[in-house]
Amino acid sequence: MSHRRIPKRKAVLAGAGAVGIAAAAVLLPHANASQSGSGSGPEADPRTLSAAAAQDLVSELGPQLGDAYAGAYYDAQKQQVVVNVVGDSNSVIVQVNETGAVARPVENSMGQLKAAADTLAEKAAVPGTAWAVDPRTNQLLVTADRTVAGDGWNRLESTVKSLGSGMARIQKSAGVFKPFLEGGDAIFGGGSRCSLGFNVTTGDGQPGFLTAGHCGVADDQWSEDPNGAPIGTVQAATFPGEGDFALVTYDDPATVAPGTVDLGNGQTLDIVGADDAAVGQEVFRMGSTTGLNSGQVTGLNATVNYPEGTVTGLIQTNVCAEPGDSGGALFTRDGAAIGLTSGGSGDCTSGGETFFQPVTTALAAVGAEITTGDGGDGGGAADQGQGQQQDGQDQGQGEQDGQDQGQGEQDGQDQQQDGQNQQDGQDQQQGGFDGT
């Protein structure tokens, strides 16, 4: 049988999804800045870093600081890394500042915050609650949805108070925490609808994809259409427990699955690899129900108590999502795969909290590698405004679905969709998708 290319996905962009796309368009100016500052001493100016470079710095610096390290976050406005440190050792502050990060003395160590989270898990694992470390406040942020009341609320509140002043704080959510199962590229199984996250290659060379674990336990076979012929079979699924992820392998081993994410409106973004999330980082989510939406990472190593059970090790964000978005891709504008949509509260009208399975953890657990796009180093994200390659069409043509995408601009400039002119004449590179 000849190689089969997965058909290009079409996102459903009505209603709240369109709002998210408009919001993404506001963020068009490229967030990645060149590094500056000498970083040669404790008094040196902090370095200006992209979010990806900031995560790399934190990954190296955290283990070096040992017990003095109390978390870090990315200040997107200043494009700086802020590193929390405990203790009165001036040498640690000097060490942090010499790297170009900003050292910030705090009271709570990571060990103390972890112990507090363990206490919550033991005494207050009430369905409808969640908690994650918020390095910006050096506290645990505890969230309770609208179902938490009566004895459950009293138990949660008293447990938080027992942790001591300044260790944790509670916020109420207007929505209800639930897995977003029903309803991105859409996949169907067992009467449920989910979203495909990222295509991968398994350890033995098979093509497959990642999606949410609660999708993987809902059915063992998934198709591209409701009641359609299966295209993939679940090989591993975790939910609830230590994550929310599933590996599905394509039934046809000759399947050619692209290393891209569908952005809607005929645009795709090349995936350049998988990376860990950083608090304060700008991220984008794609799902079949609500399309493209953006926001920030607000917490790491989050614990969520769904009605179906407790899930640990998640990324917390303020990116909206709705049922059917489960398993969908969370990524950066330059093409780094970050997470898989798990669940949360609210919707894309009122907002809410959302949680994602880290892609790096899922890949390690199932022994797979992320499938990357043709751009390799992100170059495929440089021309998102141009016509995309579809079923053998020339990508340099700019002709999609019979519409003229061109304004005649070549020479490295990206063309916007719908025939609009270039914004300020700037080249929309490295994933600067217009989202219109």
Find, among 175, 120, 170, 124, the residue nearest to 145 by Cα: 175
Please pick, among 134, 185, 219, 244, the residue that the annotation labels catalytic. 244
- Mark whether 30 is an active-site residue: no
The amino acid that residue 177 corresponds to is F
- Mark whether 67 is an active-site residue: no
How far apart are the C-alpha atoms of 26 and 97, rounded to whole Å? 33
Q: Which is it for the CA torsion 210, 25, 382, 80, positive or negative?
A: negative
How far apart are the C-alpha atoms of 326 and 345, rounded to whole Å? 13
Please pick, among 192, 326, 342, 345, the residue that the annotation labels catalytic. 326
246 token code pair: 């599933």
Instruction: Please answer whether residues 385 and 405 qualify as being in contact, where contact means their C-beta atoms are separated by less than 8 angstroms.
Output: yes
Instruction: Please answer whether residues 188 and 223 qualify as being in contact, where contact means their C-beta atoms are separated by less than 8 angstroms.
Output: yes
How far apart are the C-alpha atoms of 83 and 102, rounded to whole Å? 6
- Mark whether 326 is an active-site residue: yes
Strands of the 221-223 sheet, one edge to the other: 192-196, 185-189, 221-223, 230-238, 245-250, 207-211, 198-202, 368-370
How far does CA 203 lie from the centroid of its chain?
A: 24
Please pick, among 214, 270, 294, 347, the residue that the annotation labels catalytic. 214
Q: Which residues are catalytic?
A: 214, 244, 326
